[in-house]
Structure 1
Amino acid sequence: MTFSLLARCADTGRFGMVISSSSPAVAARCAHARAGVGVAATQNITDPTLGPRLLDAMGQGAGAAAAMAAVVAGAAHAEYRQLLCLDAKGNTATHSGTRILGVWNTAEGRDCVAGGNLLADDGVPQAMVAAFEASTGALGDRLVAALRAGRDAGGEAGPVHSAGLLMVDADTWPCAELRADWVDDGCPIEAVARAWQVYAPQMAAYIQRARDPREAPSYGVPGDE
């Protein structure tokens, strides 16, 4: 019911992921990232606790593969889960249990990993990895390119209704968390892509306002000096 890509920007140290699904609010349950640690996805028959567990393990020094092995070993109903993670060094790991829905696959690349289930084509994750590796520019731009590539390669077997982009930088909170939680008409992936296009030029200003509003740009509202 889902396809996603997790990635790291080797230049900035940022982590991020994109995801889309026929289910509502997919990013709310499935997308997890932590500054300086990595990024994790828990999907298929989702257990939202597994993303934070993967991040905790990597935060305590485990690499992606060791973190994945430990979390899967301790997880209830691991046969229903599809998990992906990427650590601070860009290493990746995946788990797809024996009860994954429909056509599924995963693909690992340079500083990225993708996976999906109930897919229209098992080449979707590889298409996402190829698009990410071929793209340049900001991490958000590259994530959007990968999500569009997954859709264009077939995406999910049925229509998608939700999508999201999550990114962390150096703070405990996300520097970008953009979601289309339910779209009846149109494409939630394009809704998120448009949100990123609007948000990207303003992202640094929002970060600075949170860190120290005295040094932040003006707000552009009446009465602002």
Structure 2
Amino acid sequence: MKQIILLFLLPLLTKAQFFKKEDGLAHTFSIVAIDTATGEMGVGVQSHWFSVGNVVAWAKSGAGVVATQSFVNKSFGPKGLLMMENGLSAVETLNTLLTADEGREVRQVGMIDIYGNVATHTGTNCVDYAGHITGENYSVQANMMLNKTVPEAMSKAFEASKGQSLAERILLALQAAQNEGGDIRGKQSAAIRVVKVESTGEPWNDDYIVDLRVDDHENPIVEIARLLNVQRAYEYMNAGDLYVETGEMENAMKAYNAAMQMFPDNLEMQYWTAITLANNGDIEKADKMLKEVYQKDENWRELTKRLPKVNLLNVSDEAFNQLTK
């Protein structure tokens, strides 16, 4: 069966380029990992190169994750995912890709399939310091590092973070790499992508669980950590919305309050929490919160006036007048 798959994919494995300008010189550090307990897999990367996530980081439910870097052969991303999706292991996939690539000695690649098989390659002509470490359910790889201890620092950070979510563990590995010296050229961009291991069979439902990119920033890992925190806060907001739909108002308010505690200055979170309070009959508390929001941005008052028409605000005329005055 695997031989048939290889024959099917051979037309895609045409003579690979040594380097193409549009693919980028992604000298960088990255991690690919899978969490069998939560059913998630992901990839994280940082580099002194613009928009590194667009070049290095690849992930697809039902297939696997890939980090392709150094003198990048960008095709390793989509081709690797396709091959793993069609039944090849990560090891078989990487071996096949490298065999067809004349530039293999300047490539660095890490990949994992949905079964947790890990494959990693660091070409002999990758720029020092370059190396990788493969562990259970993960691989870290780095090239053009200031210090040769970067992969070890990443590995230790990832293994020490068991019990946390996969995205946070990936972030901790990236932070450890940077703290160890990171890219000898400095910092510019970073990305974290996490998907479910199993595909639903419905591509529109196989969206990234986490898909964060910082394309140009003086401290990209710091910024991507902030964005991940923002995402977590909005996940509480989404949970609150679901509780509202099922009439679980106490749980809804707990979720909204958790979000606001993470970002107390976020007007969006304050506003929809207030609207939920109003719909739940707590007009006085909702009114107080809304007035504070209106003071900072009058447009929210206008939005409140539009909500009854679409049944997002269901209060008496008296309460409505109080909330919008």
1:205-225 C-alpha deviation (Å, 9 max, x unpaired): 779x9xxxx99x999484372
Could you tell me how far apart the structure 1 residues matched to 2:33 and 2:224 are? Answer: 17
Instruction: Name the counterpart of 1:179.
Output: 213
Please state if 1:166 is matched with 2:198.
no
User: In structure 1, how many angstroms separate the alpha carbons of the residues matched to 2:127 and 2:69?
Assistant: 11
Which residue of 95, 120, 142 maps to 1:94? 120
Offset, 1:102 = 2.5
Cα separation, partners in 2 of 1:204 and 1:71, compared to 1, 3 Å: farther
Cα deviations across residues 36-77 of structure 1 (Å, max 9, x unaligned)?
221001101112111111111211111111111011112242
Counterpart of 1:143? 170
- What does the per-residue CA deviation read over 1:165-203, in whole Å, with 9 as the maximum and x for residues that have no partner? 1111254332211111011x3x11010011001102434
Q: Which amino acid in the other structure matches residue 19 of structure 1?
A: V
**Aligned counterparts, 1:101-120, within 5 A:** 101-120=127-146
CA contact (8 A) 1:176 1:203 kept: no
Contact 1:175–1:203 (Cα < 8 Å) also in 2: no
Distance of 1:82 and 1:204 partners within structure 2? 38
Q: Name the one with the larger helix percent.
A: 2
Query: Could you give the per-residue CA deviations for residues 57-98 of structure 1, whole angstroms, max 9, x where no partner exists?
Result: 211111111111011112242222111101112121111223
Distance change >3 Å, CA 9–CA 84, structure 1 → 2 = same
Q: How does 1:20-99 map to 2 (within 5 A)?
A: 20-99=46-125
CA distance in 2, matches of 1:51, 1:120: 26
State the identity as a percent: 29
1:6-63 Cα deviation digits (max 9, x unpaired): 1111112111111000011001111000112210011011121111111112111111
Q: 1:91 to 1:120 in 2, by over 3 A?
A: same
| Aligned partner letter, 2:130 | W
Larger Rg over CA atoms = 2
Question: Which residue does 1:191 correspond to in 2?
Answer: 223
SS at structure 2 position matched to 1:95: strand
Q: Deviations over 1:101-141 (max 9, x none)?
A: 23101011121101011011122112112111110211111
The separation in 1 between residues aligned to 2:71 and 2:109, in whole angstroms, is 10
Report the residue type matching 2:212 in the other structure. Answer: L
- Aligned counterparts of 2:53 and 2:169: Cα–Cα separation in 1: 18
Whose strand fraction is larger, Structure 1's or Structure 2's? Answer: 1
The separation in 1 between residues aligned to 2:104 and 2:216, in whole angstroms, is 28
Are the aligned partners of 1:105 and 1:123 in contact in 2 as well (CA < 8 Å)?
A: no
The AA in structure 1 aligned to 2:48 is S
Structure-2-length-normalised TM-score:
0.62
**Bigger relative contact order, structure 1 or 2 (CA pairs below 8 A, ≥6 apart):** 1
* Structure 2: tracts of 5 or more residues without a match: 1-26, 200-204, 247-251, 257-267, 273-299, 313-325
TM-score (norm 1): 0.88
Unaligned runs of at least 5 residues, structure 1: none
Amino acid at match of 2:175: R
Name the SS for the 2:45 alignment partner.
strand
Matched, 1:2 2:28: yes
